Structure 1
Amino acid sequence: MTKPESKKSGLAAINVTGKCGTSAAEQVNNGSVEPDQSTHIRAHVKQTSKESMHRRNTECEVYDDGTNTFFWRAHTVTVLFILTCALVYVTLLEETPQDTAYNTKRGIVASILVFLCFGVTQAKDGPFTRPHPAYWRFWLCVTVVYELFLIFILFQTVHDGRQFMKYIDPKLGVPLPERDYGGNCLIYDPGNTTDPFHNIWDKMDGFVPAHFLGWYIKTLMIRDWWMCMIISVMFEFLEYSLEHQLPNFSECWWDHWIMDVLVCNGLGIYCGMKTLGWLSMKPYQWQGLWNIPTYKGKIKRIAFQFTPYSWVKFEWKPASNLRRWLAVLGIIFMFLLAELNTFYLKCVLWMPPEHYLVLLRLVFFVNVGGVAMREIYDFMDDPKFYKKLGQQAWLVAAITVTEFLIVVKYDPNTIMLPIPFFIMQCWLLGILLIFTWTLWRFFIRDITLRYKETRRRKQEVPTDRDRPLGNVGTATPSGRSKLNGSSETVRQRKS
């Protein structure tokens, strides 16, 4: 088991700026480095200082006493011993039932549990360490199992795939009607004398707090107000565009923009940003539980075990260069695709919205989404150190694509329903605007700036024609007459 990330994140900037940078500068100043290498070393020191300064601005300082208690130690032998005892019990002491279907289910579950035991103890650690690295290794293995399950469903026929869901829950495998949230969109219905505001109360179901909590957690993942608002608004436009495919997308205008965007999503994003502000200002000073003298301090330490070990402020800066701009567009696209998969999977696999499998999928993405976003940000922000995409981010992207492929295979007729012409015009206009802005910002604007900079430098440096001509016999600084050679030759000799 690896040590917590403070020892490599909190002290990394100190080591880079304090030790490496000083030693390199001292070598240059003391003359121990050859003159032709001093320029390269100074440039390297300058670049290193810039990177360390950026890390100090985005990453908090962490103080840890380094106490390695029983809670943090690796227990590979213990887990192996317990697993072996369980298998011995099943083999020697338990009588195997004569039910083929039951034994098949139990064998699959046992195989998954063995794989999870292996992953929790032996898998590679991710960027998070709280509440425990084994917790995040567990979800990494769950991600692998879920992706394998999706691949299995993808390779089945449509009928077999839907009927296979009966092995998970016998109530599944039955087509269900989609609920239409549109219809009467009057906020105040004078025709209903009993309850004129019945339309509002009808929309106040369990999905309202789910929207708020979902966007609160998404804000903690993305850690940027603008990106969260863009994804929130863009999904409402997607619901407008695709309501001809799924009746579930049909909602009233005030349900789209007031209840969803402003109340549920907006309030969740606001609370999430307030939490981010507290986490960025919170001092991260960790002390071993048994090193704390008071009981109040011990209880507080246990509660803080479920908070982040350290904090890194995400600065996406999408307009800084083309690579980051395309990466941010890709993140927004994958977020929207994962949101759409939630609704389309319910439709093609015949799962009711209140089914526990739908809730488990959302809980799954809550636990793996934060790790994936951190790995994506590290890969974008420091590609020299993080030379490949993180394992959790890779799996989440593969899961999102596989889910969409299942939707396309199981119900191509719904996916291929033609989009209304005016909606298609709006989307083409939006794509054209994004493409035009990208072309102007990262190509035309840069070329124009480079051309202006070149012209400015040419105007500042005088040419040979503008230099005053001296007498022919006047001696040059090198002691030679201009009759012995042209001024260009003299300058070449001087250089």
Structure 2
Amino acid sequence: MAAVSTGSRSTRKHAMAREEKERFRAINEQPVDDITLEFFYQPHTISLLSLCICGLLYVAFMRDDVNSDDNIWNGLCCMVFIFLVISVLAFPNGPFTRPHPALWRIVFGLSVLYFMLLVFLLFQNTQDTRKMLGWVYPDLKNGTPDEKEYAVNCSDISLARLWEHIDFFAFSHFFGWALKALLIRHYGILWTISVLWELTEAAFVHLLPNFAECWWDAWVLDVLICNGFGIYLGMLVCQKLEMRNYYWESIKDIHSTTGKIRRAVLQFTPSSWTHVRWLDPNSSYMRVLAVGILVMIWQVAELNLFFIKHIFMITPAHPVNVIRAMLIALVSAPSIRQYYMYVTDTQCKRVGTQCWVFCAITLTEAIVCIKFGMDLFKNAEMGWIVFWFGVQLLGSLACVYLCALFAKRNEHKMDADGDGMDSDSASRVTPIHQQYFVQHRSCCTPEKTPSSSNSSPDTEFSSSPILRQRAKESLTNGAL
């Protein structure tokens, strides 16, 4: 009897380990369910190897290698290209598969390269780092810090002056917050980040003069107009995509030319869009703390950009800042999805690799800023630093906790109206969730009865309380 009990526990332990591995794979190596053209999803490893070797033979023997600077630059570019080729072959897809998994493998490869570059910079001094920046971008050799002042004549409030502040950076600010709304999809967290960022600027204004703004510029133009309308637009797009039904047809099954073109264009849209619940009425204190950490990391990532610009004397519109902003935006998309699954899915025990690299990049950027801005940080007022840290920590946790209480209040209201969370959660489960849980049902059920083997997947899904509970715990296994 003891042997039978031990064998049963061992079976359950192996089943749980297998299910945990599948959960991690779902966020770190998302499979491609809809393959429209097999050619674009086959490895082609031998062909790719042949092209790479032929290209290396050509550039090694056919180019002029007299100029040393050109040799170093071309060698670095070729090294990056080969590394990205290896990224396509070896790195995981991440949680997204549209428009093609190879794109997100390249993004992961670029993030690893950027992280390695930051680690390399930690072993350099300020003079050598500036020489390297001047070698890549000669206009940065004699760079000067951005001394543009914004907190000038704040009492002069007129429509003409307000219109002067609606420039390219205002529109980029607006669309940036719309993108953040598409990534986070939670009003409470977005507004928390928006308000706390203004407090961050106030805390670091003694180090970064550009943070000095008029009150109407900070709280009206930035928070209410740019941030507010950007958040509203992004959440509106999320609502439209969430309400849409996704039924994908292979391009080979479409006979009209217009239909094929339309299907090719739709390849650049999400394959599914599921409801996001960062906080629900049953959220534990650890989940509230995890979401608070998300707010803190986001603030540090934003703050790094301004310190990098100031310390290395890079103008706001310089390609270095643009490339860095675009890379962080691309990397943050799968990182937030993986972190969301790690926070909300009790079966997910490990954070995704892209999220790990993003956190490493953010923290290493902060170390780089401290190392090369030591003269700047010597003038830091510790009172403001402690104030910033305390406000960020308490403010993020308080706002997130209030969001959890708000969700709990809505649950009681829905229960009073006869529309509980069970039916609401089940209605948001997409066919992708059903297919995932039905495929892995064998991991949780030791044996099947003959009657259950003849039932349909939808019947099995709706009749199993275990699957319904897990569907509520992980509502976002979709591609985007």
Structure 1 Cα separation of the partners of residues 399 and 268 of structure 2: 43
The farther-off stretch of 369-378 and 300-309 is 300-309
For the structure 1 residues 96 and 297, does the alpha-carbon distance in structure 2 shift closer, same or farther, using more than 3 Å as the test? same
Q: Deviations over 1:344-380 (max 9, x none)?
A: 0001111111101101111111211110001111112
CA contact (8 A) 1:368 1:392 kept: yes
The farther-off stretch of 74-83 and 107-116 is 74-83
The answer to whether residue 327 in structure 2 is matched with residue 364 in structure 1 is: yes
Residue 132 of structure 2 is matched in structure 1 by: 164
The farther-off stretch of 136-145 and 101-110 is 101-110
Structure 2 Cα separation of the partners of residues 123 and 63 of structure 1: 15
Residue 98 of structure 2 is matched in structure 1 by: 130
The answer to whether residue 107 in structure 2 is matched with residue 139 in structure 1 is: yes
CA contact (8 A) 1:165 1:172 kept: yes
For the structure 1 residues 306 and 437, does the alpha-carbon distance in structure 2 shift closer, same or farther, using more than 3 Å as the test? closer
Q: Deviations over 1:171-225 (max 9, x none)?
A: 113341332111111344xxxxxxx655324322211011011111111111111
The answer to whether residue 194 in structure 2 is matched with residue 232 in structure 1 is: yes
Q: 1:334 aligns with which of 272, 291, 297?
A: 297
Measured on the aligned residues, the alpha-carbon RMSD in Å equals 3.3
For the structure 1 residues 79 and 427, does the alpha-carbon distance in structure 2 shift closer, same or farther, using more than 3 Å as the test? closer
Deviation at 1:433, TM superposition (A): 7.6
Deviation at 1:256, TM superposition (A): 0.5
Q: 1:81 aligns with which of 45, 50, 64?
A: 50
The answer to whether residue 335 in structure 2 is matched with residue 395 in structure 1 is: no
For the structure 1 residues 337 and 364, does the alpha-carbon distance in structure 2 shift closer, same or farther, using more than 3 Å as the test? same
Deviation at 1:106, TM superposition (A): 1.4
Residue 121 of structure 1 is matched in structure 2 by: 89
Q: 2:150 aligns with which of 181, 204, 208?
A: 181
Q: Which runs of 4+ in 1 moved over 4 A?
A: 62-68, 420-439
Structure 1 Cα separation of the partners of residues 183 and 5 of structure 2: 47
| TM-score, with length taken from structure 1 | 0.70
Three-state SS of the structure 2 residue aligned to 1:124 is: coil
Deviation at 1:236, TM superposition (A): 0.7
Q: 1:284 aligns with which of 234, 246, 250?
A: 246
Which letter does structure 1 place at the counterpart of 2:180?
Answer: K
Which letter does structure 2 place at the counterpart of 1:247?
Answer: P
CA contact (8 A) 2:203 2:384 kept: no
The answer to whether residue 260 in structure 2 is matched with residue 298 in structure 1 is: yes
The answer to whether residue 94 in structure 2 is matched with residue 153 in structure 1 is: no
Deviation at 1:426, TM superposition (A): 8.0
CA contact (8 A) 1:162 1:350 kept: no
Structure 1 Cα separation of the partners of residues 400 and 269 of structure 2: 39
Q: Deviations over 1:427-462 (max 9, x none)?
A: 6477568789999xx9xxxxxxxxxxxxxxxxxxxx
Identical residues among aligned pairs (%): 34
Three-state SS of the structure 2 residue aligned to 1:147 is: helix
CA contact (8 A) 1:220 1:370 kept: no
| TM-score, with length taken from structure 2 | 0.72
Q: 2:75 aligns with which of 97, 107, 117?
A: 107
CA contact (8 A) 2:181 2:190 kept: yes
Residue 310 of structure 2 is matched in structure 1 by: 347
Size of the aligned set, in residue pairs, is: 381
CA contact (8 A) 2:87 2:105 kept: yes
For the structure 1 residues 287 and 436, does the alpha-carbon distance in structure 2 shift closer, same or farther, using more than 3 Å as the test? closer
CA contact (8 A) 1:64 1:287 kept: no
| Long gaps (5+) in structure 2 | 17-30, 405-480
Residue 468 of structure 1 is matched in structure 2 by: none
Structure 2 Cα separation of the partners of residues 367 and 425 of structure 1: 32
Query: Which of structures 1 and 2 has the bigger CA Rg?
Result: 1
Three-state SS of the structure 2 residue aligned to 1:184 is: coil
CA contact (8 A) 2:192 2:396 kept: no
| Long gaps (5+) in structure 1 | 1-34, 48-61, 189-195, 443-495
Q: Deviations over 1:110-155 (max 9, x none)?
A: 1111111111123222110000000000100000111111111121
Three-state SS of the structure 2 residue aligned to 1:284 is: coil
CA contact (8 A) 2:342 2:350 kept: yes
Three-state SS of the structure 2 residue aligned to 1:270 is: helix
Which letter does structure 2 place at the counterpart of 1:346?
Answer: K
